[in-house]
Structure 1
Amino acid sequence: MSRIGKRPIEIPSGVKVEFSDSVLTIEGPKGKLSRQVMDGVSLEITPSSIEVKRADDGLKARSAHGLTRTLVNNMVVGVTKGFERALEINGVGYRAEAKGDVLNLSLGYSHPINYALPAGIIVEVDKMTKLVVKGIDKELVGQTAAKIRSFRGPEPYKGKGIKYADEKILRKAGKTGKK
């Protein structure tokens, strides 16, 4: 039995849960999320909690048990609190600007980068060097933050580029020159 999978998921007040045809839909104050539930796993929904049960002890069912519980829990947390990921931009002349659902980045290339944000994602820019990616879908927030970071990842010599706010960049020593 999966230690994570056997824990029940508490349903906060104001959250509606529907499960039909192996599609789970959770609606809360911040929005609505839907997800296809994997084969070999079933859900028992009560008014106050959701329990993830597996059909048998086969490899697929065991693998999907804890994962399904975590995905469902992330859906519940997302529609109630939401998720966010902070990014920092380091470098002379590197800046970001959010205009509607487009993020404009100047990262030292010969051209600016205009990144169209996915639906359900909001990016807040503070002082043109700090970004906060927000949304209700944890997977989409992380994917968007990783995509923004990939435009100019941090380099180890001067630390220029886009990095996560909690990320530590290992710095390397440069060339020492002739002796």
Structure 2
Amino acid sequence: MSRIGKLPIPIPKKVQITIAGQQVTVKGPKGELQRTLTDYVDIEQEGEEILVKQRRESRICRQQHGLSRTLIANMVEGVTNGFERRLQIQGVGYRAQLQGKNLILNVGYSNPVQVEPPDGIQIQVENNTNVIVTGINKEVVGNTAAQIRAVRPPEVYKGKGIRYLGENVRRKAGKAGKK
């Protein structure tokens, strides 16, 4: 049995959860999320917490047990506090700016790169070099941040590019000079 899957999910006071078969809907102060889970698990609400239980004892059921519990816990966390990913832009002349909802990146290409956020995702720019991606769905926030980072990933020789805040980029030594 999954150690993570066995843990109950506490429901905060401001959150309402509706379970209809495998469909879980979570409403909170920041919004509403909905997800259909696999048939390998049962979801039950007991008082102020949610329990996820395996239907059978098999490898796939154990895998889906922990995953389903984590997905529901992330939904509850998202509608109460939300999620954010911070990106940092490094490089001479590299900068970001907002144009309406869209993010415009000047990162060394001949033309600026425009990134359009999906629904429910907000992008903010601080000091032209820090980008903050926020939203209530952890999966979409992470994917949007990864798409922005993929525009110009950090380069190993000079360290230029877009990286997550606090990401450690291993640097390589350049060419050795001629003797």
Tell me, yes or no, whether TM beats 0.5: yes
Greater than 2 Å deviation, 4+ residue runs = none
Instruction: Kindly report the root-mean-square deviation, in angstroms, between the aligned alpha carbons of the 2 structures.
Output: 0.9
Aligned to 1:12: 12
* Matched AA of 1:111: N
Cα deviation 1:50-92 (Å, max 9, x = unaligned): 0001111022211100010001000000000000011000011
1:81-100 equivalences in 2 (<5 Å): 81-100=81-100
Letter in 2 for 1:67: L
Shift of 1:45: 0.8
**Percentage of pairs with the same residue:** 51
Distance 2:93 2:99 in 1: 19
* TM-score when normalising by structure 2: 0.97
Instruction: Confirm or deny: 8 A CA contact 1:96 1:125 kept in the other structure.
Output: yes
Cα deviation, 1:124-161, whole Å, max 9, x if unaligned, reads: 10000001111100011110000000000000111100
Asked if 2 retains the 8 angstrom alpha-carbon contact of 1:85 and 1:134, the reply is yes
Q: Which residue of 2 aligns with 1:165?
A: 165
Q: What is the rounded CA distance, in whole Å, between the counterparts of 1:28 and 1:21 in structure 2? A: 21
Alpha-carbon distance between aligned partners in 2 of 1:111 and 1:84, rounded to the nearest angstrom = 28
Q: Is the 8 A contact 1:39 1:61 kept in 2?
A: no
SS class of match (1:4):
helix
| 1:68 paired residue number | 68
> What is the alpha-carbon distance in structure 2 between the residues aligned to residue 50 and residue 21 of structure 1?
14
Partner of 1:53: 53
Asked whether the 8 Å contact 1:159–1:169 carries over to 2, the reply is yes
